[in-house]
Amino acid sequence: MKNRSVLVTGGAGFIGSHLVDRLLAEGARVVVVDNFFLGKRENLADAEAAGGALTVIYEDAADMVAVREILERHEIQDVFDLATKALEYSFENPRGAFQVNTDIALTLAELLRKGHYERLIHTSSSEAFGTAVTRPMDEEHPRNPTTPYAAGKCGADLALLSYMRTFDLDIRILRPFNNYGPRQNWGAFAGVIPRTLDRLAAGLPPVLHGDGKQGRDFVYVEDVAEALLRTASCEAARGLDLNVASGIETPIEELLTTLCEVWGYRGEWDREPRRAADVDHHVGDGTRLEGVVGYRPQTTLREGLEKTVAWYRTRFAREGR
Ligand SMILES: NC(=O)c1ccc[n+]([C@@H]2O[C@H](COP(=O)([O-])OP(=O)(O)OC[C@H]3O[C@@H](n4cnc5c(N)ncnc54)[C@H](O)[C@@H]3O)[C@@H](O)[C@H]2O)c1
């Protein structure tokens, strides 16, 4: 990626900011486009301190005119598309949760079709598959989204596949399973790990929804950033969609048990009913990514949770908690 001019939508978010760190370390010139819906400027503090070629622009990545102007002004070659509104936003504004995914994908596809940049590396989500019908779930698994967010991710995938086929564009789709690590949003719309850590830091017990048997495939965030980088640099990945998965299904009860151990909490848990839209089983088959790109996630769940807890402890201490 050295000297390539790269745009990252959602680059002030969780995964996007880790990708920005890696791109700058590789010597790329990076432009972040983020509307700061959940993104935080502090997520880019390491990138800004590193003194690389970074420009941060507060903009809506679905805005065709604005994004075209940014692509031209910065002579962008590659776009990494990570902008989205979190899955939990589906319960507040289902239409918005769906639409943000399809609008941004279509804007970027149109601008690629018209020759405003060279290649698109789009981030899908395993949520597009819904609950596992076959396990592990490979890239041909049926699309059966359970939330409007997931339906929007699914719609974006289909739109991009159709643009690829119709216009022979250089588009690569990465489909991460459940990601976690430093900088994952811990406020509104937070996922299970940051939400639990936030409660533990506040002296509150963890909350388990349902029976805890619902499984997820957890991938550490730096492994996802690495997979994105390698996919961009691998010509054989052109036109493909690739899962980023550990291949290990961890029941949520087991995740919470390990998380509590790492944090040092031995108390009771609160129990709440299962959330209707939660998928039951989720475990990915990452062999296509490994075969094509030569990469598979490296970090074990225990190692990843230790790094994550260490980061949140520092963060909470800064806030005086
Ligand atoms: N976190 C996970 O477990 C996970 C799993 C699978 C796939 N993904 C995908 O990875 C990508 C990044 O997810 P994340 O977890 O870092 O989420 P995040 O919410 O931390 O980051 C998304 C970023 O997009 C920004 N954004 C939202 N709407 C925007 C818009 N219209 N224009 C510009 N910026 C906008 C937000 O402000 C935020 O900074 C998403 O595409 C997501 O669907 C995430």
User: According to the 3-state scheme, what is the secondary structure of 39-99?
Assistant: CCHHHHHHHHHCCCCEEEEECCCCCHHHHHHHHHHCCCCEEEECCCCCHHHHHCCHHHHHH
Q: What is the pLDDT of residue 83?
A: 98
Residue nearest to atom 33 of ligand 1 (CA): 34
Say if CB 309 and CB 263 are below 8 A apart: yes
**Does 129 have pLDDT greater than 80?**
yes
For residue 273 the two structure tokens come to: 């009913």
**Does 277 have pLDDT greater than 80?**
no
Half-sphere exposure at residue 209, Cβ-oriented, CA atoms within 13 angstroms:
13
Atom from ligand 1 closest to the CA of residue 60: 32
Mean pLDDT score, 180-186:
95
Confidence band for 278, pLDDT divided at 50, 70 and 90: confident
Q: How far apart are CA 39 and CA 187, in angstroms?
A: 11
Q: What is the pLDDT of residue 200?
A: 96
Q: What is the pLDDT of residue 294?
A: 97
Local structure of 219: helix, strand or coil: strand
pLDDT digits (tens, 9 = 90+) for 2-33: 999 999 999 999 999 999 999 999 999 999 99
| Ligand 1 centroid distance, CA of 265 (Å) | 30
Q: What is the pLDDT of residue 131?
A: 87
pLDDT digits (tens, 9 = 90+) for 32-46: 999 999 999 999 999
120 CB neighbour count, 10 Å cutoff = 24
Confidence band for 188, pLDDT divided at 50, 70 and 90: confident
| Ligand 1 centroid distance, CA of 132 (Å) | 23
Q: How far apart are CA 111 and CA 71, in angstroms?
A: 9
Mean pLDDT score, 196-223:
96
Confidence band for 305, pLDDT divided at 50, 70 and 90: very high
Confidence band for 173, pLDDT divided at 50, 70 and 90: very high
Say if CB 186 and CB 136 are below 8 A apart: no
Mean pLDDT score, 288-303:
97
Mean pLDDT score, 72-89:
96
Residue nearest to atom 23 of ligand 1 (CA): 10
| Ligand 1 centroid distance, CA of 38 (Å) | 8
Residue nearest to atom 27 of ligand 1 (CA): 84
Is it true that the peptide bond before 206 is cis, omega within 30 degrees of 0? no
Say if CB 208 and CB 252 are below 8 A apart: yes
Higher pLDDT, 188 or 174: 174
Atom from ligand 1 closest to the CA of residue 149: 43
Local structure of 229: helix, strand or coil: helix
CATH domain 5-318 topology: Rossmann fold (3.40.50)
Atom from ligand 1 closest to the CA of residue 178: 3
Mean pLDDT score, 208-224:
96
Can you state the percent helix, strand and coil of the chain, rounding each to 5?
45, 15, 40
Q: Give, in degrees to the nearest 5, the angle at Cα 252 between 213 and 293.
A: 110
| Ligand 1 centroid distance, CA of 9 (Å) | 8
Q: How far apart are CA 117 and CA 109, in angstroms?
A: 10
Q: What is the pLDDT of residue 312?
A: 96
Q: How far apart are CA 274 and CA 253, in angstroms?
A: 13
**Neighbouring residues of 83: CB distance < 8 A, sequence distance ≥ 6:** 9, 10, 13, 16, 33, 34, 35, 61, 100, 104
pTM: 0.97
**Does 123 have pLDDT greater than 90?**
yes
**Partner residues linked to 207 by β-bridges:** 270
**Partner residues linked to 171 by β-bridges:** 120
Q: Any residues with Cβ below 6 Å from ligand 1, and which?
A: 9-10, 12-16, 33-39, 60-62, 82-86, 100, 104, 123, 125-126, 153, 176, 178-179, 185
CB-based burial of residue 318 (10 Å sphere; 0-12 exposed, 13-18 middle, 19+ buried)?
A: exposed
Say if CB 61 and CB 9 are below 8 A apart: yes
Q: What is the pLDDT of residue 187?
A: 81
Q: Give, in degrees to the nearest 5, the angle at Cα 144 between 232 and 292.
A: 25
Atom from ligand 1 closest to the CA of residue 38: 37
Q: How far apart are CA 67 and CA 75, in angstroms?
A: 12
pLDDT digits (tens, 9 = 90+) for 87-114: 989 999 999 999 999 999 999 999 999 9
